[in-house]
Amino acid sequence: MTDEHANGTGDGSGTEPDAGTVDGAEVDETTVDVVVVGGGPAGSSATVFAARYGLETVVFDRGNSALRRCAYLENYLGFPGGVDVDVFHDLVHAHVAEMGARRVEELVDAVERLGRSEDDQAVDGAGDANDRDDARFRVRTQEGTTVLATDVVAAAWYDGSYLRPLEATAPDGGGDLFVEHEHHGEVEERFDPEYADDGGRTPIDGLYVASPSGARSAQAVVAAGNGAHVARSLIEDRRRARGLSGEVAPEYDWLRQASEFSGEWADRDRWREWFENELGDDHDLDDDELADLRDDYVEEAFETRVDDATVDERAERGLAAFVDVVGLERITDAVGAEAVVDAVGAEAVVDAVGADAVLDAVDDEAIRERAAVDDAITEASD
């Protein structure tokens, strides 16, 4: 399989990149926490989860795409009438950008292991991207961009040939990265989808695999879930490196209602007690380290608290972001301006996108017809 069949969801059309795309020159020779190779549902989902945790993340997104072969996406949760594949990609790319990750439309052709001793491989938490000493991998693209990364998430379903440089440095006893596979009567070597465990971890420290992943790569919604699952494994490993263990090692990306911080749970001491009960016995923290880690955990928990006003604000912002990506004119063309107003509420639509945008999107004749109906109703009521 050729290099053109690797890495992500780009359509190779040569069109202008969307607003969520950055030029490779902007990331060249930088050091980041995470590089994701492949920007399909699995890779983009992994990118969102890693970036939301505070990890500096770059996703390389160009190459052949399984999802581009889909005529229309009808079984992705949250779209009861289905969704156009191009619109779906636009929404995914906007989500990646909103989380602060950088999406680069370049084709990765090599991931190389940096020569460091096993004693130097510990990785501590998030936000260490500017320290080259933390980098474990060098990622190269066909265009000549080079990025150093602490962790790499492989998420290109069709081709894993960019991982071949890792064969020379793979640990003994971890199995082969590439296996022979018969396809339409021809035998070829492919990246082994079973090289990673169920959490996406591999024998190579810092390398995670979200795709190819057997049946978990076969449908867009399943692939997205697997990408999130693998990113959570990566995050958990970083948290364990900080000293977290037991039930507090996994990260739960979850905003809590303010009501959950009432009664005994309004008291930070109650959270501290809970933390010590849930922390595993396999840590080697001294008392001061344990206290610092516990207090950090409790403060992070309280930072997930959102009140009703914040929820309303974020709901409005979320609606505005959706309309901005899809386009209000496209929405009104599909269902009619009146249907949009009836479903969402006129005030919510105007608050989200602005009165001018609404007027621009709605046909003048439709406005006159609606005004005439309103006048008739007013006269009848009088």
DSSP readout, 218-277? SSHHHHHHHHHHHHHHHHHHHHHHHT--GGGSS-----EEGGGG-GGGGSHHHHHHHHHH
**Which pLDDT does position 193 carry in this prediction?**
87
CA Rg value for the chain = 24
**Which pLDDT does position 185 carry in this prediction?**
78
**Which pLDDT does position 72 carry in this prediction?**
96
**Which pLDDT does position 343 carry in this prediction?**
57
Tokens at residue 193, please?
A: 């989808």
Distance CA 192, CA 160 (A): 9
Strands 146-155 and 30-37: parallel
Distance CA 369, CA 379 (A): 15
**Which pLDDT does position 351 carry in this prediction?**
61
Tokens at residue 47, please?
A: 């990118």
Which of 125, 121, 153 has the alpha carbon at shortest distance from 139? 153
Tens-digit pLDDT string for the chain (382 aa): 333 333 433 332 333 334 457 877 788 889 999 999 999 999 999 999 999 999 999 999 986 678 888 999 999 999 999 999 999 999 999 999 999 999 999 999 999 999 754 444 445 555 444 456 789 999 999 999 999 999 999 999 888 999 999 998 898 876 789 988 777 778 788 899 899 999 999 999 999 999 988 888 889 999 999 999 999 999 999 999 999 999 999 999 999 999 999 999 999 999 999 999 999 888 889 999 999 999 999 999 999 999 999 999 999 999 889 989 998 888 777 766 666 656 555 565 556 656 566 556 555 555 555 555 555 555 655 5
**Which pLDDT does position 124 carry in this prediction?**
52
pLDDT 10s digits, 211-242 = 988 888 889 999 999 999 999 999 999 999 99
Model pTM score? 0.82
- CA geometry: angle 275, 311, 325, nearest 5 deg: 115
**Which pLDDT does position 259 carry in this prediction?**
94
Residues of the chain with CATH 3.50.50.60: 3-238
**Amino acid of residue 230:** V
**Which pLDDT does position 19 carry in this prediction?**
46
**Which pLDDT does position 370 carry in this prediction?**
55
> Which DSSP category does 375 fall into?
H
Question: Which residues partner with 137 through β-bridges?
Answer: 113, 149
**For the CA atoms of 319, 251, 191, 202, what is the dihedral angle to 10 degrees?**
170
Tokens at residue 183, please?
A: 């396809």
Cβ 26 vs Cβ 146: under 8 Å: no
Tokens at residue 20, please?
A: 């969520």
Cβ 113 vs Cβ 136: under 8 Å: yes
**Which pLDDT does position 366 carry in this prediction?**
56
Q: For 3-238, which CATH superfamily applies?
A: FAD/NAD(P)-binding domain (3.50.50.60)
